Amino acid sequence: MPSVQSQPVATKITRAAIFLVATVNDGDEARNAVRVLCGKLSGLVRAVGFRALDGDLSCVMGFSSGAWDRLFGAPRPKDLHPFVEIDGVHKAVSTPGDILFHVRAGRMDLCFALAAQIIATLDGAVTVVDETHGFNYFDDRDLIGFVDGTENPVGQDAIDSTTIGAEDSGFAGGSYVVAQKYLHDLKAWNALPIEQQEAIIGRTKLDDIELDDAVKPTSAHNALTTIVENGEELDIVRDNMPFGDVGKGEFGTYFIGYARSPHRIEQMLQNMFVGRPPGNYDRLLDFSRAITGGLFFIPTAGFLDSFGD
């Protein structure tokens, strides 16, 4: 394997992001164009980012299980598999997607310019099945009014939570990511009393303080998304972004969660959609509907750069 240099998974949250999910078109020419882009991606990021050095432009590129087999073959990451739908009280859907690009920066123009260069370089080799432009909303709040990502690990903890190590040494330095789009029924949500909203989320709305366990329901969002195994809390790094289309009345959250193993994210989703125990599901899902879902592997930057040879 090439040198172990991770992609910028655990970078700081930015003001803007573009999420591109694409499928690879049939044929050797299309597959080769994707490999060529792998080798060019770091150069594209540098070229666009140089136009505004304070813009913190970055891009993460990930591949689905099927795409990995078609593009790279063996060996393959040991925990990479298709996103599995969860049909519980509510449904976590699985939708098409071979490649995920997570483009982020302090400015949307930088995100847009890089996304345009990526698609131009691919030159018809892929079909974009979803493009979502995310934005930072006031003080890191979601459109439902609560601060998002408060419990994210930082520094070395973020790196340890997202970076594969000796458990899959051939792919050390890589990560996994689950990406989902949620649409909110804001009219119904905003009709709830704030106290009821806080009980659903598990935090206060204004001050962003976690509710005491004595008063927090076991179905609270932050209770169900806390995963503890063998006495250790298993963290992920979330870089969620609000998005919306006012004219269409669409308001949502793009969930993107990075981890060193997909298991911990899948367990969170199982708790949310089925419940812990079953039936004790995340009541936020009564107001927020998942419309996409995909699992991707994030190889190292060195792996991508190797295709430039």
Q: What residues act catalytically?
A: 148
Cα–Cα distance for residue pair 152/149, rounded to 1 Å: 5
Query: What SS3 string covers the chain?
Result: CCCCCCCCCCCCCCCEEEEEEEEECCCHHHHHHHHHHHHHHHHHHHHHHHHHHHHCCEEEEEECHHHHHHHCCCCCCCCCCCCCCEECCCEECCCCCCEEEEEEECCHHHHHHHHHHHHHHHCCCEEEEEEEEEECCCCCECCCCCECCCCCCCHHHHHHHHCCCHHHHHHCCCEEEEEEEEEECHHHHHCCCHHHHHHHHCECCCCCCECCCCCCCCCCHHHHCCCEECCEECCCEECCEEEEEHHHCEEEEEEEEEECCHHHHHHHHHHHHCCCCCCCCCHHHHCEEECCCEEEEECCHHHHHHHHC
Instruction: Provide the token pair at 214.
Output: 């004595």
